[in-house]
Structure 1
Amino acid sequence: MYAIVDIETTGGGGNARITEIAVFRHNGVEVVDFFHSLINPEIFIPPFITRLTGIDNLMVQDAPTFSEVQDAVRQLTLDAWFVAHNAKFDYGFLKKEFGALDEYFQRDLLCTVQLSRKIFPGLKSYSLGNLCESLQILIENRHRAQGDAAATVKLFELLLQNDLQKLIPMDYA
């Protein structure tokens, strides 16, 4: 199983928090479960983040906090490879959020940036937008968790199909 994740945040710094999350649970053939939610970060969303993502403070004021969605996130990522584009970023935020709830969160990571560099060498850029453009993957709602995660699902499926070196583990250990 693979949990393909994308999050949006209030920024990249130490006090930043999650504002949106999408998780697609994938069995190596197809998506078998899905979760998406805006998240109330309980801190101010800076204007530059709102310009990038379209997520503003008003949109999240009545959204659930991370503690209110933790069960869904935990369940969809349990016994699955944690897959994301620049996986350490998304994983780091989830690890921090679970840590704030006194829970140790650990998953094995697969980064679609690193996999793409090995499976599709020689592309000019491995950013999600440029990679999807090169591979003719449509991204709807760019810089939103559900849109970016859905594009990452399509990218991951292409990586699986083209993984001649068997870089992607097919069984969860």
Structure 2
Amino acid sequence: MYAIVDIETTGGGGAARITEIAVFRHDGLKTVDFFHSLINPEIYIPPFITKLTGIDNEMVKDSPTFYEVQDAVRAVTKDAYFVAHNVRFDYGFIKREFGAFDEYFQRDLLCTVQLSRKIFPGLKSYSLGNLCQSLEIGIENRHRAHGDAEATVRLFEKLLVNDRQKLIPIDFYQ
């Protein structure tokens, strides 16, 4: 199983918090479960982030906090590889959120940036937008968790199909 994740945040700094999360649970063939939510970060969302994502303070004021969605996040990622484009970013934020209430969150990681560099060598850029353009993957709602996670699912499916080196751990290779 793979939990393909994307988050939006209040910014990249150390005090930044999650404002949106989307997780597609994938069995290597298809999506089998899904979780998505806006998150009240309990801190101010700066205007440049609102301009990028479209997520503003008013939008999230009545949304659940990460604490309130933790069970859903834990369940949809349990016993699955945590997959993301630049996985350390998304994983780091989620791990820190769980750590805030003294829970050690650990998942095995797969990074679609690193996998793409090996499986599709020679592309000029491995950013999600440019990679999807190169591989003819459409992205709707760019810089929103659901749209970017959905594009990452399609990218991951292309990586699975083209993984001649068997870099991606998967049961049905055997």
Query: Shorter-chain TM-score category?
Result: over 0.9
The DSSP-based 3-state class of the residue aligned with 1:42 is coil
Matched, 1:134 2:99: no
The DSSP-based 3-state class of the residue aligned with 2:12 is coil
Report the counterpart of residue 12 of structure 2 in structure 1: 12
User: Residues 35-70 of structure 1: CA distance to partner in whole angstroms, max 9, x if unpaired?
Assistant: 000000000000000000000000000000000000
Structure 1 letter corresponding to 2:87: A
Structure 1 letter corresponding to 2:147: G
TM superposition outliers: structure 1 runs of 4+ over 4 Å: none
Report the counterpart of residue 155 of structure 2 in structure 1: 155
Q: Extract unaligned runs of 5+ from structure 1.
A: none
Matched, 1:116 2:113: no
Structure 1 letter corresponding to 2:70: Q
User: Residues 68-94 of structure 1: CA distance to partner in whole angstroms, max 9, x if unpaired?
Assistant: 000000001000000000000000000
Report the counterpart of residue 107 of structure 1 in structure 2: 107
Q: Per-residue deviation at 1:101?
A: 1.2
Q: How does 1:17-28 map to 2 (within 5 A)?
A: 17-28=17-28
Structure 2 letter corresponding to 1:162: N
Report the counterpart of residue 70 of structure 2 in structure 1: 70
**Identical columns (%):** 82
The DSSP-based 3-state class of the residue aligned with 2:141 is coil
Q: Per-residue deviation at 1:154?
A: 0.1
Normalising by structure 2, report the TM-score: 0.98
Q: How far apart are the structure 2 equivalents of 1:106 and 1:84?
A: 15
Report the counterpart of residue 60 of structure 2 in structure 1: 60
Q: Extract unaligned runs of 5+ from structure 2.
A: none
Q: Per-residue deviation at 1:145?
A: 0.1
Normalising by structure 1, report the TM-score: 0.98
**Aligned-residue RMSD, C-alpha:** 0.4
Q: How far apart are the structure 1 equivalents of 2:139 and 2:40?
A: 25
Structure 1 letter corresponding to 2:46: P
